[in-house]
Amino acid sequence: MPVIEFVVPGLAAPQGSKRLVRLRNGRTVLIEQSKRLKPWRAVVAYEAGCAFTGAPVECDVIVSAEFVIERPRSHKTAAGAVRASAPSSPGKPDLDKLCRGLLDGLTGVIYRDDSQVIYLNAMKRFGDRSETVVTISYATR
């Protein structure tokens, strides 16, 4: 099976904590705290669907993700150079939470369930623009 590669434009949204909300009827539901997560996962699913047109696979998969985060203006001088005091790598958001959002966005498009991911290689770094570079391959036995 081929390797699938695609780029998700924009700043990745972490899948973080949920909050408990009590409805008028007395029931409680868990609500995702990040308002950016649902739209970002939709972009992930769209880009993955453009790169892979088949039905979700049933086999194990290997996912590699590079989360590129645009440097804030405060990290640069007026000339555009990176300040010596600027951090070399992004702190927040947490890498594991970025991965959770990505893997859930791929569910139902690339694979049936994210439990099929048997190997995950991920990193985050600063770059010229925010994007996520994703590579997916199939595990062979």
Q: What percent of the chain has pLDDT over 70?
A: 95
Name the fold adopted by 4-138. 60s Ribosomal Protein L30; Chain: A; (3.30.1330)
* Sheet containing 117-127, strands listed edge to edge, beginning at the edge strand earlier in sequence: 4-9, 131-138, 61-70, 117-127
Q: In the structure, what pLDDT confidence band is assigned to residue 33 with cuts at 50, 70 and 90?
A: low
- Domain residue ranges of the chain, discontinuous segments joined by +: 4-138
- Answer for the pair 44, 8: CB distance below 8 angstroms, yes or no: yes
Q: In the structure, what pLDDT confidence band is assigned to residue 91 with cuts at 50, 70 and 90?
A: confident
DSSP state of 93: S
The pTM assigned to this predicted structure is 0.84
Q: In the structure, what pLDDT confidence band is assigned to residue 1 with cuts at 50, 70 and 90?
A: low
Count the neighbouring beta carbons within 10 Å of the beta carbon of residue 22: 9
The mean pLDDT value of the chain amounts to: 89
Please provide the size of the chain in residues. Answer: 141
